[in-house]
Amino acid sequence: MTSTGTSSGIATGITTGPGPVAPPLRAKRRRAALRTAAFMSPWLIGFAVFFAYPLLSTVYFSFTKYDGFRPPVFNGLDNWTYVFTDYPLFWPAMRNTLWLVVVMVACRVVFGLGVGLLITKIKTAAGVFRTLFYLPYLAPPVAATLAFVFLLNPGTGPVNTLLEAVGLPAPGWFTDADWSKPALTVLAVWGVGDLMVIFMAALLDVPKEQYEAAELDGAGAWARFRHITLPNISPIILFAVVTGVIQAMQYYTQPLVAGKVAAGVIGGSGQQFEPGYPDKSTLTLPQVVYNVGFQRFDYGTACVVALVLFALSMACTALLMRRRGGLIGAGD
């Protein structure tokens, strides 16, 4: 048999001591490590350039006074103190972001699953309904938001006209601080086509035998859903929740456009606009990052908010991943 370097090395090592053993072993390990690194290099480069470097820069800038024009100057904890104690937009944005994370994500997952279930049960024209429910997801966010602000306009919108016609209260939607986030949630639920498709795939993948066995055992519809459907699709639910939380943390375009249009500020005469109309109720942390960094020229403070957002995303994701046993359910 062919003698391998390792076996000869080991043999040599037994006879002559550990000194000569190490180099061939190390060389092989180094080669293996280099090979691994070479295969991983595209990811490593991407990780370093697009994640590690920006993250380290963000941490560094958060301790500096930096406007993007002049070199950054170290200012200790000034930015951190300012954000948590003096910056008037931070806490409203934090509250709104958490509201959206909890309510909007939950609504999207429940609605996406509900529509998915409904369409998998439909016997006729399922393709038509699938298309109808998926199409809104393809609408550009700005166009979709403009359409919703028009539809929900308290003065001229058809939704309120209809509500008033049937004697129901007509909310102010995007012009009322109590209703602006629910209105954004309605918009998000309208575009739930992405989750619907994922849930449909998961639902169709549940073994039919399990339902048949349960039916023979006398399980009703709710029992089958609770004990067969949910455990089988729970990894998909976890995926939907985790990605939903991350998307909600990055929620920027829709609240900004809705706030601007409802406030009647489209731009043109040099008026400044502070996002969040009405009453900061549509202000989210990403809007704060942009506002303070690029409009107020305070990169340091923007970096602090960005890091808080990052920590919050990590904490939520970690929490969900730790709880995945519970989410994935007893079926596993």
- Interface residues toward other proteins, by CB under 8 A: 48, 52-53, 56-57, 60-61, 66-72, 78, 82, 86, 88, 153-156, 172, 175, 262-272, 274, 277, 279, 294-298, 301
Taking the complex as a whole, the smallest distance from the CB of residue 331 to other proteins amounts, in Å, to 41
Cβ nearer to other proteins, comparing 56 with 204: 56
Cβ nearer to other proteins, comparing 71 with 218: 71
Taking the complex as a whole, the smallest distance from the CB of residue 88 to other proteins amounts, in Å, to 6
Cβ nearer to other proteins, comparing 111 with 179: 179
Cβ nearer to other proteins, comparing 39 with 294: 294
Taking the complex as a whole, the smallest distance from the CB of residue 64 to other proteins amounts, in Å, to 9
Taking the complex as a whole, the smallest distance from the CB of residue 18 to other proteins amounts, in Å, to 17
Three-state SS sequence of 268-297: CCCCCCCCCCCCCCCCCHHHHHHHHHHHCC
Cβ nearer to other proteins, comparing 199 with 299: 299
CA distance 70 to 60: 15
Cβ nearer to other proteins, comparing 178 with 215: 178
Taking the complex as a whole, the smallest distance from the CB of residue 62 to other proteins amounts, in Å, to 12
Taking the complex as a whole, the smallest distance from the CB of residue 34 to other proteins amounts, in Å, to 13
